[in-house]
Amino acid sequence: MTAQHKLDYSSLVDAELAALCVRRDPDAVRYILTVNNQRLFRAAWSILKDRSEAEEVLQVAYVSAFASMARFEGRSSLTTWLTRIVINESLSRLRSERRRRASLEADGVSVLNSYREKLMRGSDTPPPDVAIAREQLRLLLERVVAELPDIFRTVFVLREIDGLSVEDTAGVLHIPPATVKTRLLRAKRRLQQALAPDVHEALTGTFPFAGADCAALTERVMVRLGYPHDRHG
């Protein structure tokens, strides 16, 4: 018998993928991770607001999910099922962290959040202006989304960033679809109000162009316009 062709995992239905994972097919597991990592990370971040914590929760949730994959019944999509596990794990982590923080604060111990420091730590070589602008915008958006109330933030991330349907979002969060729509609308209004002044301020400092770059451009334009070089400059 000739060797079987490699499976096209993207063509399989969720129940088939789950069955392959139960049989410990490494390629099936890798495929599920690849197509779900980003949206599941965002779901965790929407609750924890910390990248390292979200990454840790995602790993724990994956271990739990694959261990119980045989219980996947297909009543929702595999992505929705995984999202529910990640959210439950994130909420559990959040409750534990709050208890720990309350205990530490009772003892007069400061809890330091190193998240922003980690984000700002990077290469010693300054990135191009475009990369700087994109990073500034990313940080601005991340900060504003993080400041949304919990009930709005998770709905916003699941619907607008991860692209879950109203029904899937409602199922994951155990709330009515109408509540999903209401919370999303309120989240968008809050974001619009919060972003307006910051976006203007951020854009005024975007793509800095000064010093030697500015001077060189000025001279090139002057030449194109037919003016002689400034010999006294």
pTM more than 0.75? no
Q: Considering the chain, what is the average pLDDT of its residues? A: 77
Lowest mean pLDDT among 3-12, 154-163, 177-186: 3-12
**Over the stretch 9-18, which tens digit does the pLDDT of each residue have?**
999 999 999 9
70 touches 22 (CB < 8 A): yes
Q: Kindly report the CA angle at 49 between 44 and 51, in degrees rounded to 5?
A: 75
Domain assignment present for residue 203? The answer is yes
7 touches 26 (CB < 8 A): no
Residues 138 and 223 in one domain: yes
Domain assignment present for residue 28? The answer is yes
Domain assignment present for residue 3? The answer is no
Q: Which of 44, 73, 108 is the last residue of a domain?
A: 108
- pLDDT above 90: residue 96: no
Q: Which of 51, 75, 108 is the last residue of a domain?
A: 108
Residues 104 and 133 in one domain: no
Nearest to 21 by CA among 6, 33, 5: 33
Residues 95 and 138 in one domain: no
**Over the stretch 35-76, which tens digit does the pLDDT of each residue have?**
888 888 899 899 988 888 888 888 899 999 999 999 998 888
Residues 231 and 133 in one domain: yes
Domain assignment present for residue 199? The answer is yes
**Over the stretch 51-60, which tens digit does the pLDDT of each residue have?**
888 888 888 9
Q: Supply 99's token pair.
A: 């208890």
39 touches 103 (CB < 8 A): no
Domain assignment present for residue 4? The answer is no
Q: What is the pLDDT of residue 15?
A: 95
Q: What is the pLDDT of residue 116?
A: 39
Give the CATH number, domain containing residue 146: 1.10.10.10
Neighbours of 19 (CB within 10 A): 16
Domain assignment present for residue 117? The answer is no
Domain assignment present for residue 215? The answer is yes
Backbone angles phi, psi at 98, to 5 degrees: -65, -40
Could you give the dihedral angle defined by the CA atoms of residues 146, 40, 91 and 168, in that order, rounded to the nearest 10 degrees? Answer: 100
Domain with 211, as residue range(s), is 129-233
Residues 21 and 65 in one domain: yes
Number of domains in the chain: 2
Q: What is the pLDDT of residue 170?
A: 93
**Over the stretch 123-177, which tens digit does the pLDDT of each residue have?**
444 445 556 666 777 777 888 888 899 989 999 999 988 889 999 999 999 999 9
- pLDDT above 50: residue 196: yes
Domain assignment present for residue 27? The answer is yes
